Amino acid sequence: MKIICAHDYQDMSRKAANIISAQVIMKPNCVLGLATGGTPLGMYAQLINWYNKGDIDFSEVTTINLDEYRGLPREHEQSYWYFMHKNFFEHINIRLDHVYVPDGANTDAEKACKEYDEIIHRFGGVDMQLLGIGVDGHIGFNEPGAAFELGTHCVDLAESTIEANKRFFASADEVPRQAYTMGIKTIMQARKVLLIANGKAKAKAMRTAFFGPVTPAVPASILQMHPDLTVVADEEAWSECPEVIGQ
């Protein structure tokens, strides 16, 4: 596990963008596993900025996103498909037939998840998987208690996740109760994993995920076993980890 301590959100975003950028330069036709949420927004903005300067070319890249709300069509403003297009894909030269997000409009969960695993398999797996982390230690929508051996599957969202995500909807009642997510098995099969985090709210999750026992109670803790994991987080997110802050 490679641990990087950034000063603040902007520094975290730039460092993470550098790592993604290096991946794309080293393997122009790579498969990037991407994530939504507030955390990666600054990183996407930085990558767009470098794209505009001619420093990075996404024309051969394929992206496979982590998760999607079950029941939200692509055009819904809170769908993750919409998020990715608005915040990233529309601003770079990625081919739109090279981007994949689980099909939230397909409410046949078994079929939607199976199709997604087939897509990941068809591309030979993910080269670099980007992850955020939930306040409860979730990755993707793999909530505490998630089985480590699952591929893409349908999950019930934890109350804390509905609570954290309600800011994007008119009310908590409108937050979908289920989602399709890559499983821990899918995530662990990525050749490289890059997890990013910022802010005090994540400090406890960072401590239990990276300096506690590996347990399904903290889904991100399994990443300690990944052979090529990089964690980039700011000082606030590392504030409960003297092992890092004291470095």
Instruction: Report the interface residues with ligand PGA, using CB under 6 A.
Output: 37-39, 132-134
Tokens linked to 11: 């520094």
Q: Spot the catalytic one: 136, 153, 234, 236.
A: 136
Residue 65: CB minimum distance to ligand PGA, A? 12
Residue 125: CB minimum distance to ligand PGA, A? 21
Residue whose CB is less far from ligand PGA, 38 or 242:
38
Tell me, yes or no, if 98 is annotated catalytic.
no
Q: Spot the catalytic one: 103, 127, 138, 153.
A: 138
Residue whose CB is less far from ligand PGA, 76 or 98:
76
Residue whose CB is less far from ligand PGA, 98 or 188:
188
Residue 199: CB minimum distance to ligand PGA, A? 8
What is the distance in angstroms between the CA of the first residue and the CA of the last residue of the chain? Answer: 15
Give the residue at shortest CB distance from ligand PGA.
37
Tell me, yes or no, if 143 is annotated catalytic.
yes
Residue 59: CB minimum distance to ligand PGA, A? 27
Long-range contacts (CB closer than 8 Å, 24 or more residues apart) made by 206-210: 206/133, 206/233, 206/237, 206/238, 206/240, 206/241, 207/240, 207/241, 208/137, 209/133, 209/137, 210/1, 210/3, 210/241
Question: For residue 49, what are the β-bridge partners?
Answer: none
Residue whose CB is less far from ligand PGA, 37 or 104:
37
Measuring CA to CA, which residue among 184, 193, 153 is closest to residue 32? 193
- The CA-atom distances, in angstroms, between 155 and each of 62, 150, 215, 229 are 25, 11, 18, 25
Q: Spot the catalytic one: 68, 143, 234, 236.
A: 143
Q: Give the residue numbers marked as catalytic.
A: 67, 136, 138, 143
